[in-house]
Amino acid sequence: MAVPKKKISKSRRDMRRSHLAITPVNTVPCSNCKGFKLPHHVCPTCGFYNGKPVLEDRRQGM
């Protein structure tokens, strides 16, 4: 089994992990209902994509 020859300092360890931070999900407002959705995806609230209805209206059941 491989064993490290020297201790890795906290600074070096943390610098290596600096790019592992979680980034927030990019969302854009829907052009129809102004709810937030992922870019280039159907709006989960109203079912519109690119200004056209793709899915049935999901707000009717609420």
| pLDDT of amino acid 41 | 94
User: Average pLDDT, stretch 22-35?
Assistant: 92
Instruction: State the DSSP string of 20-62.
Output: GPPPPPP-EE-TTT--EE-TTS--TTT-EETTEE-S--GGGG-
pLDDT at 5 over 90: yes
| pLDDT of amino acid 51 | 85
User: Average pLDDT, stretch 18-47?
Assistant: 92
- What is the spatial distance between Cα 51 and Cα 32, in angstroms, rounded to a whole number? 7
| pLDDT of amino acid 55 | 84
| pLDDT of amino acid 61 | 52
Higher local confidence (pLDDT), 10 or 45: 10
Q: Which helix (H) or strand (E) holds 5?
A: none
Q: Where are the domains of the chain?
A: 25-62
